[in-house]
Amino acid sequence: MLRLFIAVDIPEDIRTLMCGMGGSIPGARAVPTDQLHLTLKFLGDTDSGLLPDIKEALGNIECPPFKICLKRVGHFPPRGNPRVLWAGIDPAMEVTALRNKVEKALAEIGIERDHRKFSAHVTLARLKNSPLNRVTQFLAGNSLFETPTFTVREFLLYSSSLSAKGAVHTVLATFPLTH
Ligand code: 2AM
């Protein structure tokens, strides 16, 4: 079994701008800067025998490169106890279109679609019992958060394994976006 997910990587110079964001909130665990990514689909535990089919299905996706920036910060769930601190994607349209193509390609080989509404985001930190006023303070302090624009030229298939130091993400395949 492999714990799989599909994501767009954030370029290093952009990741550096987000280094440790939210990590100073009590109860927050910032995502390590080298792991910041935009998840397109989480497959979870998957039979490794399916890997060739998954790679072929993803390799057949046609999608041109597109430009995005990271803009705004917020939390999930939007009301109640915040568990995830995120940065938004602007514009989200092309990312959503790519995510829909990923869902469709994988559904064709029998992988269950995620029917939840897709909210394109980059997780900055995970929160546990964080005081709401500190989260609100963070959001207010970053209300104008916006990175330079960058071009998404590929998406990646990752496996994730848990180690004593946290999750280790390994690239299993890279899929270029082409015109
Ligand atoms: P997210 O942080 O962008 O929300 C690798 O584990 C990635 O898969 C995580 O960064 C997370 O994306 C997503 N993920 C992990 N567990 C998940 C779950 N149970 N449901 C949906 N997405 C999940």
The ipTM, to two decimals, is 0.95
How is the chain split among helix, strand and coil, in percent rounded to 5? 25, 40, 35
The C-alpha torsion from 42 through 14 and 177 to 39, rounded to 10°, is 10
- Residue 172 lies in domain: 2-176
Predicted confidence at residue 80, as pLDDT, reads 87
> Tokens 């390994």 map to which residue?
170
Block means of pLDDT (10 residues each) for the chain, 179 residues, are 98 97 97 97 97 98 98 95 97 98 98 97 98 97 98 98 92 96
Predicted confidence at residue 179, as pLDDT, reads 86
Ligand 1 lining (C-beta closer than 6 Å): 5, 39, 42, 123, 160
Looking at 37, 115, 169, 179, which residue is catalytic? 37
Write the pLDDT tens digit of every residue in 39-88: 999 999 999 999 999 999 999 999 999 999 999 999 999 998 999 999 99
Predicted confidence at residue 110, as pLDDT, reads 97
Predicted confidence at residue 166, as pLDDT, reads 87
Predicted confidence at residue 165, as pLDDT, reads 84
Nearest CA to ligand 1 atom 2: 123
Which residues touch 129 (CB under 8 Å, ≥6 apart)? 27, 81
Predicted confidence at residue 91, as pLDDT, reads 98
Per the document, the length of the chain is 179
Nearest CA to ligand 1 atom 8: 42
Predicted confidence at residue 161, as pLDDT, reads 96
Predicted confidence at residue 107, as pLDDT, reads 98
* Euclidean distance between CA atoms 51 and 36, whole angstroms: 24
User: Is there a contact between 152 and 67 (Cβ–Cβ < 8 Å)?
Assistant: yes
Residue to substitute in 6, 39, 114 for testing ligand 1 pocket (most ligand atoms within 8 angstroms of CB)? 39
Q: What is the DSSP string of 22-69?
A: TTTSTTEEEPPGGG-EEEEEEEEEE-GGGHHHHHHHHHT-----EEEE
Which residues touch 144 (CB under 8 Å, ≥6 apart)? none
The CATH number linked to 103 is 3.90.1140.10
Nearest CA to ligand 1 atom 22: 42
Whether 121 is catalytic:
yes
How many structural domains does the chain have? 1
